[in-house]
Structure 1
């Protein structure tokens, strides 16, 4: 009697869990995990136990393991990953996929147990202002260890691949973050705020220094624009930087805080005159991909990462890290409405194959198969479709 072929088993850890969608890593776990299951992979996701009142063992075919954590600001994420790594190493999974370079040291555990591992290290975490001091030093050290202890290093952009080669002499594979192009959305959700289509500039992101909302706001207020600047995002804790921004009084500013209704968020993206992207550190940025997917005209901080995503100016304009540069680009955009309309009409073309979740999944699957020696039946990737947002 022929032996039954065993499924390829992949464990995913380092995010909050599944189907808890909060940030970029959680979204990646959802998009990647669900597609891997459809391709015949046994996917296990390690969930942060405290975030899940209900704890079903399987959700949409994905096995969920609920591991504990030491609940504190500094230790929650690291302790959750530590316990998850121990559990995975004592199990029969073939490959362990870890996200976040902070988990770099835990690769030593998997190496002791001779488990095959992959890590997605994200961006230049050690340079972010919020990790200044010991936090920044830890991220740099952890990122360096990730290059030594994990079998396969993943960067999500060509620029990050270059950085890891230059800093750590580490080889890596580039697999970008995925995106979902979206169809145009009706303006109902913005009209309740008294807004009309193309009457505002937009910022979406956490109110933290490395996203440069302060720079954009100051530059915008110096401009002669009669449009509004809508700011979507906040921070989930008391913070002086965010408080100072939100206390600015000007009739052209509209702070919405977190927008959890995805249809409303889609409307703000779809109908902005232009989207400001001030994110400074990191590789492929999910907020930028959303802006492309919603057909936005994009004004981005001039960084190597943003140059790469916008194909060196093909899909947007750039500003320098000065208030004067922001002021200039606001006024230039308003005097070039035809150019802004062109950027909006071609934005979705910026979501090339590398940002297609099916293509991204196939690349990860190839890595998992090569490391484990197990093969699964491939399903041809679908072409990206425009997702219709229901009002």
Structure 2
């Protein structure tokens, strides 16, 4: 069986949930004797080997702009894949919905992971939001198999687009703390800080959490890991807001996975403000690394934390954030108990091996 994967930045480039999925899935598919080709953004790779860890790589150019880069790259990738001898083309990101026309013309079997409700994200306004809605609708018409990463997202697609989908969540790898000294480079101590991890974009609500934290009387720090890879007014305003309080620390990107894991492990509380999307890889890591989790109250976060079994919730108001922080400040034993239990939320459906087996089933059925 030969599989082509398009729609991500490439392999082994890991920047977001999609790249993590591509990396973990493609490596495991190769281990099972499946030939995998991943399409990569040429501009992101100085070295361009034809194969890494058994994964075949194709580097194609694009116009590197915030809006058009992925769109143009996926267009060229789909054409290239359709002229190849692959059995199934696996696409990530519903923005690539229109390219299903190309695979239909060539008679290629396809599956698409449509991710979340991109059309609701604040960064896409007007024409951008309408395009994402249209592209998501087209995905349900043009691709042979639709894949969602949560039951809640499956229900949304069924209601909006009248097309059912298979649910395959993202995976996570359970890890215990190994070297707490790795956090000292930022002047941090175990349990001495709250943690936010994610891109500094409006729908991740870092501004909401920072405002709520600044209203609290906590003596701990608030550490924000992440940024955006482009100049952006929203992210710049957040950084300016953080300068008003000496407790707030921005690390930028943390690319060392061992350092990132220790930052999760040793945080007093992990704060999750992601609003749209289904199964969120960032919160999966928090669960797998044994974090005490406080999350924005959305139906997606409720599903992941099983209605509060593996974390607590706050509303979309700074006052609510402040309230849950003050509660955790007064109950360190609760925070510790939540740290010890959150890893139990990583059940079979969040295992990368299980995720891989489910994708193999989809590809085999398509063939």
Q: State the TM-score, normalizing by the size of structure 2.
A: 0.98
Of 334, 337, 362, which aligns to 2:357? 362
User: What value does the CA root-mean-square deviation take over the aligned residues?
Assistant: 1.0
1:252 aligns with 2:247: yes
Equivalent residue number for residue 243 of structure 1: 236
Query: Which stretch shifts more, 338-347 or 140-149?
Result: 338-347
Change (3 A) 1:86 1:270: same
Equivalent residue number for residue 43 of structure 2: 50
Equivalent residue number for residue 71 of structure 1: 64
1:338 aligns with 2:340: no
Equivalent residue number for residue 291 of structure 2: 296
- Tell me if the contact between 1:185 and 1:266 (Cα under 8 Å) persists in the aligned partners: no
Q: Return the alpha-carbon distance in structure 1 between the equivalents of residues 219 and 55 of structure 2.
A: 50
Equivalent residue number for residue 61 of structure 1: 54
Larger Rg: 1
Structure 1: 5+ residue stretches without partners: 1-7, 373-391
Equivalent residue number for residue 217 of structure 1: 210
In the TM superposition, structure 1's runs of 4+ consecutive aligned residues that sit over 4 Å from their partners are none
Equivalent residue number for residue 30 of structure 2: 37
The offset of 1:19, in angstroms, is: 1.2
Q: Return the alpha-carbon distance in structure 1 between the equivalents of residues 39 and 266 of structure 2.
A: 38
Equivalent residue number for residue 322 of structure 2: 327
Aligned length: 365
Q: Return the alpha-carbon distance in structure 1 between the equivalents of residues 230 and 85 of structure 2.
A: 39
Q: Return the alpha-carbon distance in structure 1 between the equivalents of residues 9 and 347 of structure 2.
A: 28
Query: Which stretch shifts more, 316-325 or 192-201?
Result: 192-201
The one-character-per-residue Cα deviations of 1:362-384 (angstroms, maximum 9, x if unpaired) are: 00000001111xxxxxxxxxxxx
- Tell me if the contact between 1:216 and 1:326 (Cα under 8 Å) persists in the aligned partners: yes
Of 77, 87, 91, which aligns to 2:84? 91
Q: Return the alpha-carbon distance in structure 1 between the equivalents of residues 121 and 178 of structure 2.
A: 34
Equivalent residue number for residue 22 of structure 1: 15
Q: Return the alpha-carbon distance in structure 1 between the equivalents of residues 77 and 231 of structure 2.
A: 30
1:312 aligns with 2:323: no
The offset of 1:159, in angstroms, is: 0.4
The one-character-per-residue Cα deviations of 1:125-169 (angstroms, maximum 9, x if unpaired) are: 000000111111100000000000000000000000000001001
The offset of 1:54, in angstroms, is: 2.0
1:348 aligns with 2:351: no
Q: Return the alpha-carbon distance in structure 1 between the equivalents of residues 184 and 4 of structure 2.
A: 44
Change (3 A) 1:67 1:194: closer
Per residue, is there more helix in 1 or in 2? Answer: 2
Equivalent residue number for residue 137 of structure 1: 130
- Tell me if the contact between 1:185 and 1:270 (Cα under 8 Å) persists in the aligned partners: no
Equivalent residue number for residue 158 of structure 1: 151
Equivalent residue number for residue 267 of structure 1: 262
1:203 aligns with 2:193: no
The offset of 1:261, in angstroms, is: 2.0
The one-character-per-residue Cα deviations of 1:277-322 (angstroms, maximum 9, x if unpaired) are: 0000001111101101110000000000000000110000000000
Query: Which stretch shifts more, 138-147 or 61-70?
Result: 61-70
Q: Secondary structure in 2 aligned to 1:130? A: coil
Equivalent residue number for residue 168 of structure 1: 161
Query: Which stretch shifts more, 256-265 or 314-323?
Result: 256-265
